[in-house]
Structure 1
Amino acid sequence: MKVRYLVLIGFLLLTACGKKGPLVPPESFVPAPVSALSVEQKEGSFYVSWPAPSKDEGGRPVKDLAGFRVYRRPVLPSGQDCEECPTAYTLIKTVDLDYLQDVRFFNNRYVLADGDVTNGVTYQYKVISFKKDGTESSASNRARLTKVAAPPAPRLAATASATGVLLQWEIPPVSAGKVAGAYVYRRRGNDVGTLVLLTPAPVSDRQYEDLRLERGATYVYTVRAVVEVDGQLVEGAVSNEAQGKLAEPE
């Protein structure tokens, strides 16, 4: 009888325990770090951009992502620089995904314009994402850039024909780097939502003909000079606007 009682107790204990899987450490639920942080200069500002992490540290789809914290530090001369020092980085922006304010979401990337930068200074950025419960990811990759004097605004003119619009521009002398060309932008009328970059690479000539036009529509063009400084491309101030439309065939 005693043996049967012990067997019964053992059976009940086994069934009460149930089947348990491997333990999942809590840190595996935090967002994976941002891995494609980048920074570029346009006019006098730096544009810092990054994608949201799609997975958590455990490889599962990330849940309850609430926002990002963007940090910046000036890079000091060799021998003085200390990235790991507690005062090296300054929090410059907390991004709330429910209220982006002046942060834009474009082409699956968040874009922050940082205008508080000084010519000749190198800045380094990092981003940390956080969830609604406050848990944070580890820091992203670092992105750094040296602020330089941006090129001035070109002077732009447009000439229409029956087949397209010919744009021609002049670029004033630049104070830093060498001119690499110009980017050409176009929008349809006053609709800023149609603004597009027509030239993925800078146009080295001082002219560009737009042949991809719809008859009857009016287009507005601008250009920005691009200089190369120490291997980086820097976009300058925007030109005057020039309008153009297909001329009626004679």
Structure 2
Amino acid sequence: MPKHFTKSLILVALLLLLATLSGCGRKGPLRPLGKPMPAAPPDLVLHQQGGRMLIEWTIPTRNQDGSELKNLEGFRVYRMDYDPAEDCPECRDTSILLQIVDLDYLLEADRSDDRLSIVDYEVEPATGYRYRVAPYTGSGRVGASASARRPFLPPPPAPGRVAGEGLDRLVRLSWEKPLPGPPLAELVGYHVYRRAPGAPFPPRPINIEPAAEPRYEDFEVQNDQPYRYGVRALYSIGGLRVESIAVEIGEIVPREGQ
């Protein structure tokens, strides 16, 4: 049999085999099998608390394809400063890595149920800040990121001296009203923070709604346990909520019979 005829038969057989293989299964372009990527963290919120910025978000539980997120390891938080007068502060990205939040080692982060928060102290008045939070998995895959931005304003006036007394399963606080704030600053109320001695103040106040008057009664305490408190005045300035610095009071111990 001539060699060229043998080669022709082999070529025909190969073409038939390829045609058979291409007809098997689902038709269409081939897609690489990839692992699902984490969805963006929901509810990213920025709060100005005196001379610092509080960044908090919810831990995602799903991947971008809707499947369950099982191997989330932490988050990378990026920060970019911008001029609030710019028309398009997001047209350029000069973000820097601000912090890595490892879910197993929350050294500089606070967790309350499914909410995480960190504090940025390196902020300046009259400067805008954009924060971006990106989740990552144990295999190093980085998911979709969430971003939020707001200008940082000069801290408004804080309350005056805080006084308090410990009673039977009750701590009663009162304080002096702050001095008048800047133009367009409306005093909304007061946030009250509580901590144990030696521990930092939590990022969120103990009163769900701002106290309308300069006083507060805390019934969520135990007798013979020491507590420390801080009070911040809450303002609305140009549509933004801004807290003053915290005014603290020394240790208070509620006792039976008082």
Q: For this structure pair, what is the TM-score category when the shorter chain's length is used for normalisation?
A: 0.7 to 0.9
Offset of 1:111 from its aligned partner? 0.9
8 A Cα contact 1:103 1:110, kept in partner: yes
What letter corresponds to residue 116 of structure 2 in structure 1?
Answer: Y
Matching of residue 102 in structure 1 with residue 111 in structure 2:
no
2:103 maps to a residue whose letter is L
Equivalent of residue 42 in structure 2, options 35, 57, 69: 35
Q: Which moved more, 1:128-137 or 1:75-84?
A: 75-84
Aligned equivalents of 2:219, 2:110: Cα separation in 1: 31
CA-CA distance at 1:211 after TM superposition? 5.1
Which residue matches 1:157?
A: 163
Q: Pick closer, same or farther for the CA change 1:61–1:241 going to 2, 3 Å.
A: same
Aligned ranges 1:205-220 → 2 under 5 Å: 205-210=213-218, 219-220=227-228
Q: Is 2:62 aligned against 1:55?
A: yes
Normalising by structure 2, what TM-score? Answer: 0.72
**Which residue of 2 is the match for residue 91 of structure 1?**
97
1:147 maps to which residue? 152
Deviation at 1:94, TM superposition (A): 2.3
Q: Secondary structure at the match of 2:64?
A: coil
Partner in structure 2 of residue 238 of structure 1: 246
Contact 2:228 2:248 in 1 (8 A): no
Indicate the residue corresponding to 1:248 in structure 2: 257
Question: Residue type matched to 2:257 in 1?
Answer: E
Partner of 1:46, secondary structure, is strand
Counterpart of 1:105, as a letter, is R
Shift of 1:174: 5.2
Indicate whether 1:179 and 2:184 are aligned.
Answer: no
Partner of 2:76: 69
Assess, with a 3 A threshold, how the Cα gap between structure 1 residues 63 and 112 changes in structure 2: closer, same or farther.
Answer: same
Question: CA offsets, 1:79-133, max 9 Å, x none?
Answer: 6535243x43222222233333212222312211111111122212121112222
Q: CA deviation at 1:29?
A: 0.8
Give a deviation string over 1:1-58, Cα, whole Å, max 9, x none.
Answer: xxxxxxxxx9xx99xxx989x9886456111122221111112111111122211122
CA contact (8 A) 1:28 1:57 kept: no
Greater alpha carbon shift after TM alignment, 128-137 vs 146-155: 146-155
1:61–1:207 distance in 2 versus 1, CA, 3 Å:
same
Unaligned runs of 5+ in 1: 1-9
Q: Which amino acid aligns with 2:64?
A: E
1:229 aligns with 2:237: yes
Q: How many residues align?
A: 233
The range that moved more, 160-169 or 56-65, is: 160-169
| Closer/same/farther in 2, CA of residues 63 and 81 from structure 1, 3 Å limit | same
Segment of structure 1 superposing worse, 30-39 or 221-230: 221-230
Cα distance in 1, alignment partners of residues 126 and 201 from structure 2 = 35
Q: Percent identity?
A: 27
Aligned-residue CA RMSD (Å) = 3.5
Q: Report SS of the residue matched to 2:75.
A: strand
